[in-house]
Amino acid sequence: MRNNVTNKVKELRTSNKLTQAELAEKIGVTRLTIISMEKQNYEPTVGLALKIAKEFECTVEDIFEVGE
């Protein structure tokens, strides 16, 4: 059963004035991965979620939410 995970990656990225390419480089993924996450089409691994949280200086729970 797949969890319905939503995220605030785009909101955080734009409020921090980062391009998709800049964020991708900072966390070690491709720009296409960022695009997929922002479109809610990609659920990152725990490791990647932690990297994103560290980049934005917040918790994983601040960025990702699991729906019912």
**Which domain CATH number covers 9?**
1.10.260.40
The model's pLDDT over 7-45, given as tens digits with 9 standing for 90+, comes to 999 999 999 999 999 999 999 999 999 999 999 999 999
> What predicted TM-score, i.e. pTM, was given to this entire model?
0.89
pLDDT of residue 33: 98
pLDDT of residue 37: 97
Q: Which domain, by its residues, includes 36?
A: 4-67
Distance in angstroms (rounded) separating the CA atoms of residues 14 and 52: 14
- Total domains in the chain come to 1
Q: Please count the other Cβ atoms lying within 10 Å of the Cβ belonging to residue 34.
A: 24
Return the SS3 of 64.
strand
